[in-house]
Amino acid sequence: MKGAIPVAAALLATTLSAPAQEPADPVAQAQERVRRVVVYGDDPCPPSTGGEIVVCARLPETERYRIPEDLRGEGEVDDPASESWASRAQSIEYVGDAGIQSCSAVGPSGFTGCWAEMVRQAREERRRTAAERER
């Protein structure tokens, strides 16, 4: 045990006294630059200049103005994550709605709320259908 401490100290001293190794040619490494470019259709790949390497990826012309594939949503239509905030807020608007003008049998005139709710849903559905036809 006593012999291990001086050996460890000697190894540590030689490690600390050794100069840090520098890259072979730091100027050449600093000047070399790789540029990745996406070109569409028959567009030419830009030429490289000086110490620059240009790597071109070619995509079809139909992809030029589209959202990149990795950002396109793959979710289902009924997926809650793809539902807008406005429709979520509208769906919780009637939570806890009870009494008069509510669609429940609680309180006087509770049945009138069911009729009003049915009329509101029919109007909303008609508006949505008309908006889809206009597209």
What is the model's pLDDT at position 70?
Answer: 78
The 8-class DSSP code of residue 23 comes to P
What is the model's pLDDT at position 67?
Answer: 84
What is the model's pLDDT at position 41?
Answer: 92
- CA angle at 12 for the pair 11 and 13, rounded to the nearest 5°: 90
What is the model's pLDDT at position 15?
Answer: 47
Strand partners for 81: none
What is the model's pLDDT at position 71?
Answer: 78
Using CA atoms, how far apart are residues 80 and 73, in angstroms rounded to an integer?
Answer: 13
Q: Model-level pTM greater than 0.75? A: no
Element housing 38 (H / E): strand 33-40
What is the model's pLDDT at position 38?
Answer: 92
Return averaged pLDDT per consecutive 10 residues of the chain, 135 residues in all. Answer: 53 49 56 88 90 92 86 68 76 66 63 75 91 83
Q: CB neighbours of 58 closer than 8 A, spacing ≥ 6?
A: 38, 39, 40, 45
State the DSSP string of 47-93: PP-TTEEEEEEEE-GGGTTSPPGGGS----TT-GGGS-HHHHHHHTT
Question: Encoding tokens for residue 113?
Answer: 């709320």
